[in-house]
Chains A and B, each alone.
Chain A
Amino acid sequence: MQAQIAVKNLAKTYHCRKLFYDLSFLVKNNTVFAVIGHNGVGKTTLLRVICNLVPATSGCVEITVGDRLLSAAERRAALGLVSPELELYGELSAFENLEFFSGVRGIVFNREKAREILEYVGLKGRGHDLVSTFSSGMMQRLKFAHALFHDPQILVLDEPASNMDGEGVALVREVIRHQRERGIVIMATNEQREASYADQTLSLA
């Protein structure tokens, strides 16, 4: 199924300060879309609006899969997010986190798939450890596992390689390459290296 994101005349004002206005763009399937710009220009806010986590001041974001315009509930199933603002439950293990999020999504938890995805992100053998014992790099890897576990068509990445070591950076590149083949990647970054993976770039000023 082909996914597409259409952003139409989007504006966001925060405490009387215009972050962006009259923003329109189209992201088609098999595309990596990078949002770049200085700190505080609204990159993270734009991602939050796309994920429906905060409302836009005006304009809209339309996400279609196939010919179908997704409702808010369907959007939740189609999106995976990795962001510094998103935290997982420190009191639960990695497996328990994945099990819980499968449960609230109404998906049957597949332990074998969970083991595979933890291995894929470099957390092999750490599935039963409490997340509170993870380092910041391991936490970032777990966020990738959480974002990918329900096979979303759209992957939204905010500073995806933050806290990652060399292997982690390679993982980010591999995830982006793989997701491009199956859907869309939208990423906010300040890193030139990450921006170079993009097919389309939006510079916020």
Chain B
Amino acid sequence: MRTRHFLLLKRSCAVLQKDLRVEFRTRYAYNTLMMFAVTVLVTVSFSVGGMILESEIAAALLWIILFFSAMAGLSRTFVQEEESGTVVALKLAADPEPVYLGKLLFNIVVLFSIAAVVVPLFLIMLNLSVAMPLSFVLVVLLGCLGLAGASTILAAIVAKAAVKGALLTVLAFPVLLPLLIGAISATRSTLAGVPLEVLRPDLGLLLFYNGMMVTASLLLFDYVWNE
């Protein structure tokens, strides 16, 4: 059992390494996400002007930026395989699970690196202070994990469709709604500063969503991949 898990991890890391290498040479997903995120961020900061935003609005704006950035670039991992024809070689060589896990890890790395730039910029440009910094970082990490998890399985579905452009956003919205509600609520709490007991249900929701999304995706991916 341990050997099987080790092999799965090793094969997933091979997919991750390949995707990172390709991304490092083309910078397609990273550039798309970063340009989108920074453009929206600048637009929002100019629209808001010098106003001090309430934590409810700031939290919603942050997750709108992260959600649409994720939708703009994270589908690329599977779409590129389909469009370039490499999906045939990949299907012939790899089991479905390591492909899913490798792509998931890649999307997590990309989204975390985008968040590492966008979130501090968001706080600076909108002149926001965070009352609970550690909890805020935890919420952003869990939210990004959920965004990456849902985007990965949905990207695998969208990659098979003839019209790929807006389909991911449309498909993702209902799937990501519980995550976004939990992430916005938790972010608002960490910006405003609340007792930990108030934050706990939202953190629980984010943890549960992430666990459920990865488990369900692993179970379903075989059908999506081989369809």
On A, residues with C-beta under 8 Å from B are 51, 53, 55, 73, 76, 79, 81, 83, 85-92, 96, 100-101, 103-106, 146
Is A104's CB under 8 angstroms from B88's CB? no
Considering the complex, which residues of chain B in the window 1-33 have a beta carbon less than 8 Å from any beta carbon of chain A?
7, 10-11, 13-15, 17-18, 21-22, 25-26
Is A101's CB under 8 angstroms from B93's CB? yes
| Known A-B contacts A103-B10, A103-B11, A105-B94; A88 and B89 likewise in contact (beta carbons under 8 Å) | yes
Report if B86 contacts A (CB, 8 A): yes
Residues of B within 8 A of A106 (CB): 7, 10-11
How distant is the Cα of A88 from the Cα of B85 in the complex, in angstroms?
8
How distant is the Cα of A89 from the Cα of B93 in the complex, in angstroms?
14
Report if B182 contacts A (CB, 8 A): no
A–B complex contacts, Cβ < 8 Å, 14 sampled: A53-B88, A53-B92, A76-B92, A76-B93, A81-B88, A81-B89, A89-B86, A91-B25, A92-B21, A100-B14, A101-B93, A104-B98, A105-B94, A106-B11
Is A87's CB under 8 angstroms from B7's CB? no
How distant is the Cα of A100 from the Cα of B99 in the complex, in angstroms?
12
Report if B56 contacts A (CB, 8 A): no
On B, residues with C-beta under 8 Å from A are 7, 10-11, 13-15, 17-18, 21-22, 25-26, 84-86, 88-95, 98-99, 226
| Known A-B contacts A91-B25, A92-B21, A92-B22; A51 and B86 likewise in contact (beta carbons under 8 Å) | no
> Can you name the residue of chain B whose Cβ is closest to the Cβ of A84?
B85
Residues of A within 8 A of B13 (CB): 103
Residues of A within 8 A of B22 (CB): 89, 91-92
Is B86's CB under 8 angstroms from A79's CB? no
How distant is the Cα of A55 from the Cα of B226 in the complex, in angstroms?
9
How distant is the Cα of A90 from the Cα of B81 in the complex, in angstroms?
11
> Can you name the residue of chain A whose Cβ is closest to the Cβ of B11?
A104
How distant is the Cα of A106 from the Cα of B86 in the complex, in angstroms?
19
> Can you name the residue of chain B whose Cβ is closest to the Cβ of A132?
B25
How distant is the Cα of A81 from the Cα of B94 in the complex, in angstroms?
14
Most A CB contacts (10 A, CB to CB) among B86, B90, B99, B226 go to B86
Residues of B within 8 A of A81 (CB): 88-89, 92
How distant is the Cα of A146 from the Cα of B88 in the complex, in angstroms?
13
Residues of A within 8 A of B15 (CB): 104
How distant is the Cα of A88 from the Cα of B81 in the complex, in angstroms?
10
| Known A-B contacts A53-B91, A53-B92, A76-B92; A103 and B85 likewise in contact (beta carbons under 8 Å) | no
> Can you name the residue of chain B whose Cβ is closest to the Cβ of A105?
B93
Residues of A within 8 A of B90 (CB): 104
**Known A90-B84, A91-B21; further 15 A-B contacts with Cβ < 8 A:** A51-B92, A53-B88, A76-B92, A76-B94, A76-B95, A81-B92, A86-B88, A87-B84, A87-B88, A103-B11, A104-B11, A104-B98, A105-B11, A105-B93, A105-B94
How distant is the Cα of A85 from the Cα of B84 in the complex, in angstroms?
10
How distant is the Cα of A76 from the Cα of B98 in the complex, in angstroms?
14
Residues of A within 8 A of B21 (CB): 91-92, 96
| Known A-B contacts A79-B92, A91-B26; A103 and B7 likewise in contact (beta carbons under 8 Å) | no
Residues of B within 8 A of A105 (CB): 11, 93-94
